[in-house]
Amino acid sequence: MDSAIEPMEARAVAAIPEGPGWQYEPKWDGFRCLAFRDRDAIELRSKSGQPLARYFPDLVAALREVSATRFVLDGELVIPMDDGTLSFEELQMRLHPAESRVRKLAAAHPARLMLFDMLLAPDGTTLVERSLAERRSALEAAMPTLSHPAVALSPASYDIAQAQAWLHALGTGRDGVVAKRLDLPYRAGRRDGMAKIKLVRSADCVVGGFRYLAKQPGVGSLLLGLYDDAGLLDHVGFTSTIAAAERAALTQRLETLIEPPGFTGAAPGGPSRWSNARSAEWQPLRPELVVEVQFDHVSGGRFRHGTTLLRFRPDKAPQQCRMEQLGQP
């Protein structure tokens, strides 16, 4: 099977969909991962299609140890900590250029792959056109051949009460619930038939520019952008919730990316009555950094208020940050 296949994605909705025909799963706080094996060849691919194997040699070794020698699996890469929680920060630390550093991190906190779908069965059967109900049954049947401490079957349920319990039991590495239609095939790269529900709304945005603080050196706010249907990067808002301890390092990082135009569609406006000359000016950036921000309201295709910076998303391609994330559920 072509390793360039895109994972099926979920659209954000406000409430868990009810009624027959839905399967509910916990939403894990990790990196989406497609795992391919063809005998000795093992490949790990991120949601954006980037190779992950060099950053997770422990998982590659684990998949090589299972008895199944052929498969394509869909799941979430997570890193369990000693207290049973999952650490997204540990995942981000894995994306390091030094192999020695990666292997040290892998030895300290091995990764785990939480499986929730299968596109190619160990017997060579292609499952992409099969319904989720069939794919889930095939995955469960294949688990004995995938048995390893680093490989786990993500739980699933048809009971909305269980889904509600997962949604509200946060803080252990679950950041919501995913609902999937049982009757649909695997729709690569599409968001229909699959929904994600969080207690807060968030969006992944491109950092298209930044403004300096008004009266001291350092970044004051990040200017956020999303791609529209024409492929243009539109300015949609800002976030200024930058930790003081991280400001200097982040400023240096941003200054290495300064390059016009920053935004290719709607650009940031002029100064407000609270701005001085320095803080009103914005610096355009190459569209390389992605951040996840929490927001409360959208008006006219923009965040109505400032947003809360949740985290940087090195696992997300800028081109995946699209305006459709702001659509009303």
**Does some domain include residue 34?**
yes
C-alpha distance from residue 215 to each of 24, 65, 271, 275, 283 (Å): 50, 58, 15, 11, 17
Is the domain of 36 the same as that of 182?
yes
Q: Would you give per-residue pLDDT tens digits along the chain (329 residues)?
A: 566 788 999 998 889 999 999 999 999 989 999 999 999 999 999 998 999 999 999 999 999 999 999 999 999 999 998 888 888 889 989 998 899 999 999 999 999 999 999 999 999 999 999 999 999 999 999 999 999 999 999 999 999 999 999 988 755 667 789 999 999 999 998 888 899 998 778 899 999 999 999 888 899 999 999 999 999 999 999 999 999 999 999 999 999 999 999 999 999 975 443 344 444 589 999 999 999 999 876 777 888 778 999 999 999 999 999 999 986 43
pTM of the predicted model over 0.75: no
Total domains, the chain: 2
Verify cis geometry, omega within 30 degrees of 0, for the bond prior to 261. yes
Is the domain of 75 the same as that of 136?
yes
Catalytic residue among 27, 180, 196, 316: 27
CA distance 239 to 217: 17
Is the domain of 54 the same as that of 190?
yes
Domain that holds residue 318: 201-326
Nearest to 135 by CA among 187, 199, 175, 96: 187
CATH number of the domain to which 93 belongs: 3.30.470.30
* Contact criterion met (CB below 8 Å) for 210 and 221: yes
Is the domain of 177 the same as that of 222?
no
* Residue 196 is among the residues annotated as catalytic for this protein: no
Place of tokens 């069965």: 121
